[in-house]
Structure formats: C-alpha cells, structure tokens
Amino acid sequence: AGVACTPMPRPASVAGDRPGHGLPEASDGARDWHPEGPLRTRAAIAGVTVRGLWPRLRAMPPRRAEDGELLLCHSREHLAALEAAAAAAGAAGTRLFMPPGGCFVSGLPVEDQLLSEEVAEFTSVRGTETYVTEGSMEQARAAVGGLLALVDAALDPCDPLLRGMALCRPPGHHAGRERSEGFCLLNGVAVAAAYARARAARDVERVLIFDWDVHHGNGTQELFWTDPSVLFVSAHRQDEGFFPGSGGSEEVGEGRGAGFTINVPLPVGYGDAALWAVCTEVLLPAARRFLPDLILVSAGFDAAKGDPIGGASVSPRLFGAVCLELRRLAAELCHGRLLLALEGGYAAAPLREAVGEVVAALASECREAPAFDQRPAWVGPLPPRSR
C-alpha cells in the first residue's frame, strides 16, 4: 500500500523549512483554540509508526497539484482569491479567516474581506471558521497532490500500487467550486475523482466516493450533483444546528446525476452498528449496481468516540474493519483500486488509533471473501432510532 503525507516523516532539523497551514505550537505548550492544526498530521503519522507499518508501505514522493488539475473542480477566480488571501496573511504575519459563507465577493479586494483572529474566534457565522496563513495554499496543493500521486500509482499500467492513503491536511470535502469552508480550502477527493477520469478515460469511467466523515461532504456533493459518472455516498450526523446542515436523504442529485447522490443521515451518538449497517444495506448494493472503476474514501475520523466535535461513538477498529471490507469490494469491482484521504478527526488519540487501524487494513494480508459478508462479533445491535 502507498502512503502520502504532508510532510512525510523527516528529521526535526528540516521539519520547519517552509511555512505551512496553521500556527506552530506555542513554546509554553498552550493549545491553539482552532481544532484543525498541524498536530493532526503528527497524530496520523504516529498511528502508522506505533504499529510498525512503515516497512510495509511505499512513500509517495511529494507532488504539488497544479492549476490545470485544480481547475477540474474549482474556478480560476476562487483559486486566485485563495492565493491572494494567503499572501495577505503572510503580509500581516498572522492567520486570517475566510469571509462569511467561505466565498469571496468578486470586485472587492480579497484582503478587505478576510477576518482577523479575534473576530473569527467569537463569531458563529458559517464560513468564518476556515483560516489561511502564508503557506496555506502551498500545503493545500501538496495535500491534493499527495492524493493525485496515489491515483497515478494506482493507474500505472506497469507496476500499479492499488491501495493507499493520503495523510494530508487541510481536509477538503466541504470545499466547493467557489467556496472554502468547514476548515477546507481545496477538495482533494473531488479533484482526484475528476483527475482519474481525465487521466485514464478508458480505464476509469466511473468513480465511487464514500464519505464516512461525521460531517456531510457538501462540497463534494455540489461538485458532482449532476454527474452520473460519480456515485457519492455519504454517512454523516444530521441534527439541528450541526454543520453543514445539508445531506438529507431527499438530496439525490439532479438531471443526469439524479440517483447518483446517496445520503444517509444518522443521529447524534451513532456508533459501530450504524456505520456498519450503512455499508451493508446502502453502500454495498449501490456499489454493485454502479460498478465503479475506482473507489475513493473521504476518511474523516471525527465520528470516532472521544472526538470533541463529532458527537458520535464509532470505534477505531470499526474503521479498520470497514476498510478491510472495502478492499474486498474493490477487488470484486475495480481491480482492487482503493484510495483514502484524511478528512476530519480532531482528537489526537482517536485519530492516531483509527488511522493505525485503517493503514493496517490496507497493508495486511486479506483473504478472499465476499465484501461485508460477515458482521464482526463485537459490533453491537443497531438501536431502533438509528434506522
């Protein structure tokens, strides 16, 4: 299996050679008030390290997503505005926050639309929770590029690397064509789906995206709303006031894309049984009807028990069990092509454990068996309110 990281593990002497997305931890150990920061990548990498998995993995070389690739999903105007926002943050010497809605108003100076740290911390206006720093766009390009490197490896005709995970941040599934919100700047999974189809049209006609992040992937849904070549399946928490507020079961796509968006809203506190049921009762039959050529997973771990934002109770080993079954499904449907990208997950311990479980599932031996054929004995019964 392949792993892409931003940055890849490397000696501490060179770890801070360029500005990234976020602020370094304070010298006195104080924690940043913002949950999406560099410690997330550190926790994800630790999940691979503590299990001794690196010798069984192939590290992807760093890769920067270029404009031509990002334009498959994002507008040129929005990319230019994000670059200008990062430049403004660099000039100010601090991080700045996106305007309400995560969208820039055309014709107004970008720097005049950004919010200060003080304003953003105490506002509840949607979109203003997403920040930029001097290095944000370079890191966001590297995060998307890491996933594209895995796509390139999976589609290599000579020596394909069929499975992999991008342990990259910032996350992406809330980013739309002209909107960056929910801690997301660029939508890596969406770009990867469009890139795979553009790169290898004969081999990849249809892409399945499974989003198990606790938040609905509204950006991904928007980007493929009318596209029948991408099946988007999302399992997420939905209740009043929970971000982003979309993802009802009635949202199924439009036009030629009608029926190719499948949303499974779940109640607060949902756990292993609910996510397993989504996979067996919804994802599995839909995937077999769709017959994808590539499976991509928006792998958010904020549904894990102990996450400060998610309010769900999925166990780390359930994520690993689902990943193992997705391997079997990929082997059945699309030559084993299965790629995952880190989305949410904001508590170090659950994130570390869940990533470790998933990467172990990608790198382990996998006996042949029908996908999702055997429910793990440790998965409890599904509460009636979860159906």
Q: Which residues are catalytically annotated?
A: 174
Q: Helix %, strand %, coil % for the chain, to 5?
A: 40, 15, 50
Helices (H) and strands (E) in the chain, counts: 12, 10
* 171/269 Cα distance (integer angstroms): 23
Instruction: Please report the DSSP string for 185-196 in residue order.
Output: SS-HHHHHHHHH
| Lookup: tokens for 247 | 């993802």
Torsion over CA: 230, 146, 265, 321 (sign):
positive
Q: Tell how strand 131-132 and strand 96-97 pair up.
A: antiparallel
Encoded amino acid at 121, one letter:
E
Report d(CA 387, CA 120) in Å as an integer: 37
For tokens 């107004």, the residue is 108
CA dihedral 5, 158, 191, 202 (to 10 degrees): -170
Q: What residues does 58 pair with on adjacent strands? A: 2
